[in-house]
A = this chain, B = another copy of it.
């Protein structure tokens, strides 16, 4: 069966051209069917070099929610915005999933409003997949809920555990709580109280994990509030990029090192692919009555393509 996805084509810091380019790549490399939601004229321009239109459709909308708008207000007011209409398409069953690189708070608000929450979920959240030295792990929440209560962190654990089971085929995902020390006394009030709830739950909770443990890959799921999770996600991307730049600077200082780099180039390319966030493309919205993927505002065509796939 062909999967049909609604793509909020107006979202993303890089503009519709980048998003549409990702969509074209995705249909070229797979049998996906994609509905671009956004301004018809703008999208026609972005699609002008693409002739084979049978698997890319356009649904016209007149409004856009920008990155700095207040999510709930914007979703209420802009009923003809690309994200609200994309959610409608999913709700009506015209597509099976939606992808957005726009204002993630607004995507979440539109999805909650349009699709509703799963039973027992008070706060749906965004999960993200982290590369580690072993298997990739799932971190939740990475940005939907910036002020949380302990029950929310427990629910993130339940949802991310379920996602990890399906996505990575793990029977009993090991769940860690992000904190600043392994001891139960370490952490802020939210983390200490959340730890008690996780310990009493039927989840396979293995205790606190520190920032430095994330990349060891000794847990399958890391639970945190959406503020901390989002800071971590962006810090990781920024650091991975900075590390490559610093290394390049050092290599460029010497002829010998440059020669060495040429010989080792393939290893560098493989490595870059491993730490490149665009390889996973997006994070799933968990806890909703429907399938949604949030991409980064900065997503390039490659990231959009991988999120779609």
In the complex, A176 has a CB within 8 A of chain B: no
Residues of chain B with a CB closer than 8 A to A213's CB:
238
Residues of chain B with a CB closer than 8 A to A147's CB: 188-189
Give min CB distance, A150 to chain B, whole Å: 14
A163 at the interface (CB under 8 A from B): no
Tell whether A240 is near chain B: CB-to-CB under 8 Å.
yes
Interface positions, chain A 251-309, Cβ under 8 Å from B, are 251, 253-254, 256-268, 270-271, 274-275
Interface residue from B243, B260, B271 paired with A261 (Cβ < 8 Å): B260
Contacts of A246 in B (CB 8 A): 133, 271, 274-275
* Stretch touching chain B among A42-50, A164-172, A227-235: A227-235
Q: Tell me whether A242 and B183 are in contact (CB under 8 A).
A: no
Residues of B contacting A257 in the complex (Cβ-Cβ under 8 angstroms): 263-264, 266-267
A247 located at the interface, meaning its Cβ lies under 8 Å from any Cβ of chain B in the complex: yes
Instruction: Let me know if A118 is at the binding interface, CB within 8 A.
Output: no
Contact of A242 among B132, B230, B235 (CB under 8 A): B132
For residue A59, CB closer than 8 A to chain B, the reply is no
Interface string of A139-159 (1 = CB under 8 A from B): 000010011000000000000
- Which residue of chain B has its CB nearest to the CB of A269? B250
| A180–B143 CB distance below 8 A | yes
In the docked arrangement, what's the CA distance between A53 and B234, Å?
A: 49
A237 to chain B minimum Cβ distance, whole angstroms, is 5
Residues of B within 8 A of A274 (CB): 246, 250
Using Cβ atoms and an 8 Å threshold, which residues of chain B touch A200? none
User: Is the CB of A181 closer than 8 A to any CB of chain B?
Assistant: yes
Indicate whether A253 sits within 8 Å of B267 (C-beta atoms), given known contacts A188-B147, A240-B243, A243-B275. yes
- Cβ of A202 under 8 Å from chain B: no
Residue among B183, B237, B258, B259 making CB contact with A212, cutoff 8 Å: B237
Contact among B215, B231, B251, B262 with A239 in the assembled complex (CB-CB below 8 Å): B215
The answer to whether the Cβ of A3 comes within 8 Å of any Cβ in the partner chain is: no
Cα(A253)–Cα(B271), bound, Å:
11
Determine whether A70 belongs to the interface, using a CB cutoff of 8 Å to chain B. yes
Contact B181 A67 (CB under 8 A): yes
User: Can you give 10 contacting A-B residue pairs, CB < 8 Å?
Assistant: A133-B242, A211-B230, A216-B238, A231-B232, A236-B239, A246-B275, A247-B267, A259-B264, A260-B262, A260-B264
